[in-house]
A and B are shown apart, each in its own frame.
Chain A
């Protein structure tokens, strides 16, 4: 009886996993064959990859994507860490309201956020109407709920008050204690939260398309523009973007593991 349910569960998992993986796998296969008219494709080649990777425009768009995904993550994480410093040590009651502010973006996702920002700031003087500035700001809001939740959970696992009091008695200011003792202990949580936020922004298309459009061509926009030109090139781009995300996640996991073994934790 148990075996039967185990087989059944295994089947379900297999079917779902297959359904999820097949489009992905096929995209990859599509990028390495010249023609696919029947069940099996023909003409194995890596020419599409070499074409894409030598295309300066693509490399630039990839770099733009990396930068524009990284900068808002740093800004947002720092802003929230500072807020957590205040709410954990001085004003715990404030946290409720901060949480509400951080949950609002759930209701103004994607299009709505872009609409709100464009309709408010286009045509305004100075840096307020600068597309890049607006894009960074919009991105900060997109990742706000996830960054807040991730960092709050990380700090919640620590005994902040007691440690900071001990540091104070030893002559240390609360600010110094927060940055010298609490934040190093949050390292892993901070890194995984930042990574999650990064991958979300890296995959964005809606917001950057609406706010920046062709003024700031990220990899996502480049992909969209390539779709109408060549199917194989587009799949190659998708695979490259995928691999990039994968490399970054693996690197961050490696960094986290290194930190753990150094401290000899189990």
Chain B
């Protein structure tokens, strides 16, 4: 039995829009999992239904062996960090963090201790008496995290907490969240639409699309073996081709499946014909290329089938626009995917 179990969760708005369609999901104790997907896929709704902030139409949610589907928000023992603006503006940092403990009628001395520990954990020492309006966005989210973990919740939920933070700061905070989670060994569910973030943060990723879970796995699995067109399009920069296009590139091979995905970094390019017989190869022309710092991305055109290839920028391997090149792909890197 998993620590958190979602069973047949269904939710729709006004009977029309089905946001969650029979979701079945398990989360193990101490895991940091991410719900990843585009806006509207239902990830936030699923998270909020675990917190009790959204009502589900049918299904059950089980936490640590107990069915909490009908338990009110206040009693679920869950900690949550929202995207922004969730701090209490009329209280300073200390008071914000202590709020939940006061409600739970914890002893005053204990409160002071726990608050102090939480503040140290998120690196906000010295800011105890500041008010939210005096803090930066990153600092405010750290307060929100402290406020959630000080309650020692069974589960920590984070609903796109870093979406409103600048890119540079985001990296720092991602590290911090991971560190805190590992230290406290707290089961955590993280929601994001940014697949880089998901890859960095999680032990396990659940990719959601249109109210269902499209694919689950650890970051490497998800990245190297997307099972569907959606997954391949969402994760990384996969080339997605149908069997007709592949037949155009490699007329001597058979392609039974409808769609295939090829990772750009598995496509190699060279000036001379490829000798290795174990590699599929064909000729193509370079349409253009973009340099993205340490990565070069080439757009290749072979009989009007477009492919994108990415290589690490090592000197001397620049191909010009319009140049004819030889392309090689190992067979196992052409993945069959479903619709």
Which of B56-64, B98-106, B192-200, B294-302 faces chain A? B98-106
Q: Would you call A162 and B151 a contact (CB within 8 A)?
A: no
A265 within 8 Å of B (CB atoms): yes
Q: Which residues of B contact A159 (CB under 8 A)?
A: 85-86
Residues on the A chain within 8 Å of B99, using CB: 167, 170, 172
Report if B111 contacts A (CB, 8 A).
no
* Inter-subunit contact A162/B90 (CB<8 Å): no
Counting CB contacts under 8 A, is A42 at the interface? no
Within 8 A of B (CB), among A145-180: 159, 162-163, 165-173, 176
Q: Nearest chain-A residue to B51 (Cβ)? A: A169
Judged by a CB distance under 8 angstroms, whether A2 is at the interface is no
The answer to whether the Cβ of A184 comes within 8 Å of any Cβ in the partner chain is yes
Residues of A contacting B: mostly: helix
Tally B residues with Cβ within 8 Å of A: 30
Q: Is the CB of A265 within 8 A of B73?
A: no
What residues of A have a CB within 8 angstroms of the CB of B103 in the complex? 170-172, 176
User: In the assembled complex, which residues on chain B have CB atoms less than 8 Å from the CB atom of A165?
Assistant: 53, 73, 80, 82, 86
Measured CA separation A185–B90 after assembly (Å)? 6
Which residues in A have their C-beta under 8 angstroms from that of B144? 166
Q: Does B147 contact A (CB under 8 A)?
A: yes
What residues of B have a CB within 8 angstroms of the CB of A167 in the complex? 88, 99
Is B226 part of the binding interface, using a Cβ–Cβ cutoff of 8 Å? no
Question: Taking the complex as formed, is A263 at the interface, i.e. its CB lies under 8 A from any CB of chain B?
Answer: yes
Which residue, of A166, A167, A185, has the highest number of chain B Cβ atoms within 10 A?
A166
Chain A residues near B151 (CB, 8 Å)?
170-171
Give B75's nearest chain A residue, CB to CB: A171
Closest to A170 in B: B100
* Pair A263/B85 contact, Cβ less than 8 Å: no
Q: Which residues of A contact B85 (CB under 8 A)?
A: 159, 162-163
Query: Please, how many angstroms separate the alpha-carbon atoms of A172 and B74 in the complex?
Result: 6
Is A126 an interface residue, CB under 8 A from the partner? no
Cross-chain contact B90 with A181 (CB below 8 angstroms):
yes
Asked, given contacts A159-B85, A163-B86, A264-B134, whether A168 binds B53 with beta carbons under 8 Å apart, the answer is yes
- Residues 98-126 of chain A: 1 if any B CB is under 8 Å from the residue's CB, otherwise 0? 00000000000000000000000000000
Q: Is B291 an interface residue (CB 8 A)?
A: no
Highest count of chain A CB atoms <10 Å: which of B51, B52, B86, B130: B86
* 12 other A-B residue contacts (CB within 8 Å) besides A162-B85, A167-B88: A159-B86, A162-B84, A163-B86, A166-B80, A169-B74, A170-B100, A170-B148, A171-B100, A171-B104, A172-B74, A181-B90, A263-B133
Interface residue ranges, B against A (CB under 8 Å): 51-53, 73-75, 78-80, 82, 84-91, 99-100, 103-104, 130-131, 133-134, 144, 147-148, 151
29 A-B interface contacts by CB (under 8 A): A162-B85, A163-B85, A163-B86, A163-B87, A165-B53, A165-B80, A165-B86, A166-B80, A166-B82, A166-B86, A166-B144, A166-B147, A167-B88, A167-B99, A168-B52, A169-B53, A169-B74, A169-B79, A169-B80, A170-B148, A171-B100, A171-B103, A171-B104, A172-B74, A176-B103, A185-B90, A264-B130, A264-B133, A264-B134
Sorted nearest first, the 5 A-B pairs with minimum C-beta distance are A170-B100, A166-B86, A184-B90, A159-B85, A168-B73
